[in-house]
Amino acid sequence: MIILGIETSCDETGVAIYDTERHLLAHKLHSQIKLHAEFGGVVPELASRDHVRKLLPLVKEVLLEAEITLQDLDAIAYTAGPGLVGALMVGAAFAKSMGLVLKIPAIPVHHMEAHLLAPFLEPSPPQFPFLALLVSGGHTELIEASSFGEYKILGETLDDAVGEAFDKVAKILGLPYPGGPVLAKLAEKGNKNRFIFPRAMLKRGLNFSFSGLKTCALQHFKEFGNAEQTKADIAFAFQEAAVDSLVIKCRRAIKEHNFTQLVVAGGVSANTRLREQLNIMGKEAGVVVYYPRLEFCTDNGAMIAYAGARHFMAGKKTDMEIKVYPRWEM
C-alpha cells in the first residue's frame, strides 16, 4: 500500500510517501522560519497562505522522487489536529479533494500520535507496549502506549509545554525565532555553576510545570543583565532544570509501571542535552530509549504518512466531511 502524507499543522509544510512494503520512499519539507522570523513567532494567517503556496509543488516533488504517479496512491493521510485551524484546513481540504478525485480515502491523523510513531521509521523500531515522552511546542506528555491506538496519558504539563518554555525563555534573552534550538546552542557556552533554577513538582506525580522556569529566567535576566555570558548562563540553567524535570518524571513512570522501553519524540527530542541525560537514565533503569532521527523529531510529512499507513492497514473508516480539530485529545 502506498500512502501520501501531508503535514500542515503549524509552520512547516511536510509531504512524504510511505510504502508499507518498501517503507519511506520520499519526503520533503518546507520550513516557514524566514517568513515568521521578523515577527518573532508564527503568524497564523501567513502560515496558512504559505501552506497553500507550497503544498502542490512539494507533492509533485515527492511523486517524482518516489518514481510513482498519483494513480499509484492507495490513500492520503493528513494532519487533522491539533494545530492552527487555518493551517490544518489547507492540508485537510487538499487531501479530501485529492482523495475524491482519485477515489481513495483521505485519512485524518492526530499530530501527536504521528510524533509518537515517528521512531517506527527507523531501522530498529520499538515494540508496543512502551512509555512515550512527547515533547513539542504545544505538548508535554507521558503516555502509556499499550498497543497501536491504545494510549493513556500518565502525566502532562499543567501550564506551558516544554518547547513553549524554550521558545519563551529564548525570547526573553532576545534570541531569534525559532527559539528552542538557538537557546540550546547558547547553553553550550553557559557557566555550569553560576545559576541553579528550581525543578518544579519533584516530590510526587507524573505531571510537569514549566511556567515558573520562564519567570525565573526573566528575573535573572532583569537582575544580572544581558551580557552574552550572562545570557548563556541563564540558557544553561534553564535547560538543565527543564531537562532534569523531564528525566525525573520519566524515571518515576518507568519504575511505577515497569516499562522496558522509552520512546521520546516531538521537537524537543532533538535536544542534545535531553538525549544525553535520558540515555544515562535509561542505562541505569535498564530501559532502551528510542528517538526519531533528528529531522523527524520536529514536524514532518513522513510521520503523518506512516501513521496514516498504520490506520489504513487497521481499516480506519473515513467520511467525506472536511473537518479539523485544532484541540484534540489523543
Among 88, 145, 299, 305, binds ligand KG4 (CB under 6 A): 299
Considering the rule CB under 5 A, would residue 136 count as an interface residue with Zn ion?
yes
Helix (H, G, I), strand (E, B) or coil at 27: strand
CB–CB of 200/209 below 8 Å? yes
Pairing assessment for the beta strands 140-147 and 150-156 based on DSSP bridges = antiparallel
Considering the rule CB under 6 A, would residue 180 count as an interface residue with ligand KG4?
yes
Considering the rule CB under 5 A, would residue 8 count as an interface residue with Zn ion?
no
Considering the rule CB under 5 A, would residue 299 count as an interface residue with Zn ion?
yes
Instruction: Report the C-alpha gap between 23 and 17 in whole angstroms.
Output: 9
Reference 7, options 65, 70, 54; nearest CA is 54
Among 32, 79, 136, 261, binds ligand KG4 (CB under 6 A): 136
Task: List alpha helices for 118-197, DSSP H.
Answer: 162-172, 179-187
Considering the rule CB under 5 A, would residue 12 count as an interface residue with Zn ion?
no
User: Interface with Zn ion by CB under 5 A: which range of 29-37, 73-81, 189-197, 297-305?
Assistant: 297-305
User: Interface with ligand KG4 by CB under 6 A: which range of 38-46, 99-107, 268-276, 304-312?
Assistant: 268-276
Q: How many residues bind Zn ion (CB under 5 A)?
A: 2
CB–CB of 95/56 below 8 Å? no
Strands (E), 194-276: 261-265
Helix (H, G, I), strand (E, B) or coil at 111: helix
User: Interface with ligand KG4 by CB under 6 A: which range of 69-77, 142-150, 175-183, 198-206?
Assistant: 175-183
Backbone angles phi, psi at 70, to 5 degrees: -55, -35
> Left (φ > 0), alpha (ψ -120 to 50) or beta: where does 17 sit?
beta
Considering the rule CB under 6 A, would residue 140 count as an interface residue with ligand KG4?
no
* Single-letter code of the amino acid located at 3: I
Considering the rule CB under 6 A, would residue 268 count as an interface residue with ligand KG4?
yes
User: Interface with Zn ion by CB under 5 A: which range of 68-76, 77-85, 116-124, 292-300?
Assistant: 292-300
Shortest Cβ distance from residue 209 to ligand KG4 (Å)? 17
Which residue ranges make up the site for Zn ion (CB under 5 A)? 136, 299
Which residue ranges make up the site for ligand KG4 (CB under 6 A)? 10, 136-138, 163-164, 166-167, 178-181, 184, 266-268, 270-271, 298-299
